[in-house]
Amino acid sequence: MKNLSEKIKQLREDFLKGSLDEKDCPDNPFELFCAWLDDAVQSEVPEVQAMTLATCNKEGKPSARIVYLREFEHHQFYFYGNYGSRKAMELEENPHAALLFFWPDLERQIRIEGMVNKAPDGLADAYFNARPRESKIGSWASEQSRVLGSREELEKRVAEYERKFSGKEIPRPEWWGGWVLKADYYEFWQGRKSRLHDRICYRMNGDVWKRYRIFP
């Protein structure tokens, strides 16, 4: 363990692939988000849609997990899951949340903060209906975030729902749906040499986005 800790402590990366200047940043941060996401897609970054979702309960205890971005428009970012999960309960208690995209191949990350609400049922239905059949079965079988006695118990539940829906369309469970984060803050981070990174932020001020640079 000590040797591993020493190795981790000595790991170093320098960032040389790009820069970010205010003159290259649009007034609207959503435009820059879309441009950077397109760069990541064109560069075939693995799991480009993966984002860290950070939430906090009413006592102020934080938690974070990876979820997938599934839709986005006009500063709204959608993700889906089980309404009985830990993230769902924390979002009910405290709707403030943060997203983080990290694309090491491009030496970039994007932080987004805002308020979260449940997505409309129509959107949740449309997304659920487009999922693979196995994923739909999994949504019925999994009581996400609850204690599970064994892997065999989960596999038994999957088999039960496979029999239940054999030859039938699989409806969206009432406990499964989506959320939408409405952004009021963005930070675009471009790695630079010697840890002197570029960090350009946008914060909503009334109905106008205020843009500014912060120290790395």
Residue range 145-174: mean pLDDT, rounded: 96
Residue 190 is assigned to a structural domain of this protein = yes
| pLDDT value of residue 13 | 83
Range of the domain at 125: 17-131+174-213
DSSP state of 172: P
| pLDDT value of residue 33 | 98
Residue 193 is assigned to a structural domain of this protein = yes
Residue with tokens 């943060």: 98
Catalytic residues: 195
pTM reported for the whole predicted model: 0.93
Query: Residue 10 — pLDDT band, cuts 50, 70, 90?
Result: confident
Residue 99 is assigned to a structural domain of this protein = yes
| pLDDT value of residue 146 | 93
**Contact (CB, 8 A) for 129 and 172:** yes
Residue 6 is assigned to a structural domain of this protein = no
Residue 70 is assigned to a structural domain of this protein = yes
Residue 34 is assigned to a structural domain of this protein = yes
**Residue (of 209, 127, 136, 188) closest to 166 by Cα position:** 136
Beta bridge pairs of residue 199: 189
CATH number for position 118 = 2.30.110.10
| pLDDT value of residue 132 | 96
Residue range 141-146: mean pLDDT, rounded: 94
- Report the number of distinct structural domains present in the chain: 1
Tokens of 55: 């939430």
Residue 199: enclosing H or E segment and its boundaries? strand 198-205
List the alpha helices (DSSP H) in the chain: 2-10, 29-42, 86-93, 121-130, 133-141, 151-164
Residue 157 is assigned to a structural domain of this protein = no
Residue 182 is assigned to a structural domain of this protein = yes
Query: Residue 16 — pLDDT band, cuts 50, 70, 90?
Result: confident
